[in-house]
């Protein structure tokens, strides 16, 4: 599976959009980009995933560049409850194991 | 209840105890997973069950014994554990265990082995 690179930490003001970047320059054609988050000592929470096209759901938007080498997770109106570690994962067609890297610690500030 | 539930949420046990962790999913999924998450270590896949059959065992020591009586329930039986087994144990489920099959996690059981 392709390796991902994320910033270690980010801050965001409450009510503003949080934009979390992820680089996955070695991604291959059949690999999806997944985003999960984990609040301290809780189970990981699925956020969104995509292959080529931008995706949006009730939690977030996922913007994938045309060359698919990077993506951005957007939380449109961050709240204090969005403070968590956010993981960007690339999964191949046969992979079942989720491998979390170090992720980005997002802190939403009041 | 919705989603994936796990009980107990916290467990403290001695090395000679026998205990079980329980996971239940209410999503109509057919695949269930056990993961271990230790402090400052990556998430480790332990077992995968697909339609009640074990399809993956990632070289997990025999002191961890999984059981999947049906597609909605998954157990992890623990006996003669070691202090290094202290971790957050996470259960997940997905539709049918295929690759790129979105996994949904439970809240985890925080296990401490004394």
B88 and A41: CB-CB below 8 Å?
A: yes
Among A44, A93, A96, select the one facing B105 at the smallest CB separation: A44
How many percent of chain B have pLDDT more than 90? 74
CB B19 within 8 A of CB B13: yes
Q: In chain B, what residues touch A46 (CB-CB under 8 Å)?
A: 102-105
B111 touches chain A (CB under 8 A): no
B5 touches chain A (CB under 8 A): no
Residue A94 has pLDDT above 70, yes or no: no
Residue B81 has pLDDT above 80, yes or no: yes
Residue B55 has pLDDT above 90, yes or no: no
Residue A85 has pLDDT above 90, yes or no: yes
Residue B100 has pLDDT above 70, yes or no: no
Q: In chain B, what residues touch A45 (CB-CB under 8 Å)?
A: 105
DSSP collapsed to 3 states, chain B: CCCEEEECCEEEECCCCEEEEEEEECCCCCEEEEEEECCCCCCEEEEEEECCEEEEECCCCCCEEEEEEECCEEEEEEECCCHHHCEEEEEEEECCCCCCCCCEECCCEEEEEC
Among A50-64, B19-33, B89-103, the minimum mean pLDDT is found in B89-103
For residues B60 and B71, give the distance between their C-alpha atoms in angstroms, rounded to a whole number: 21
Question: Could you tell me the two tokens for A58?
Answer: 């009730």
A98 touches chain B (CB under 8 A): yes
A46 and B108: CB-CB below 8 Å?
A: no
B56 touches chain A (CB under 8 A): yes
Predicted local confidence at residue A1, as pLDDT: 59
- What phi, psi does A37 have (nearest 5°)? -135, 160
Q: In chain B, what residues touch A99 (CB-CB under 8 Å)?
A: 42-43
B100 and A93: CB-CB below 8 Å?
A: yes
pLDDT digits (tens, 9 = 90+) for B12-53: 999 988 999 999 999 999 999 999 999 878 888 999 998 888
For residues A23 and A4, give the distance between their C-alpha atoms in angstroms, rounded to a whole number: 6
From first CA to last CA, the distance across chain A in angstroms is: 37
Q: In chain B, what residues touch A32 (CB-CB under 8 Å)?
A: 100
- What phi, psi does B58 have (nearest 5°)? -85, 60
């Amino acid at each position: 599976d392709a390796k991902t690179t994320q910033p270690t930490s980010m801050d965001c003001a409450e009510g503003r959009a949080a934009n979390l970047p992820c680089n996955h320059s070695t991604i291959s054609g059949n690999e999806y980009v997944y985003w999960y988050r984990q609040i301290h000592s809780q189970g990981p929470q699925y956020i969104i995933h995509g292959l080529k096209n931008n995706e949006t759901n009730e939690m977030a938007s996922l913007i994938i560049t045309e060359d698919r080498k990077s993506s951005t997770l957007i939380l449109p109106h961050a709240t204090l409850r969005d403070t968590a570690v956010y993981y960007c994962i690339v999964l191949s067609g046969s992979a079942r194991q989720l491998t979390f890297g170090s992720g980005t610690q997002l802190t939403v500030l009041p | 209840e919705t989603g994936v539930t796990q009980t107990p949420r916290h467990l403290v046990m001695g090395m000679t105890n026998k205990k079980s962790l329980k996971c239940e999913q209410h999503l109509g999924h057919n695949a269930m997973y056990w993961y271990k998450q230790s402090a400052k270590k990556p998430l480790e896949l332990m077992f995968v069950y697909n339609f009640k059959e074990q399809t993956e065992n990632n070289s997990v020591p025999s002191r961890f014994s999984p059981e999947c009586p049906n597609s909605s329930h998954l157990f992890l039986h623990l006996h003669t554990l070691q202090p290094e087994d202290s971790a957050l144990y996470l259960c997940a489920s997905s539709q049918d265990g295929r690759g790129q099959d979105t996994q949904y996690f439970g809240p985890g059981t925080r296990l401490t082995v004394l």
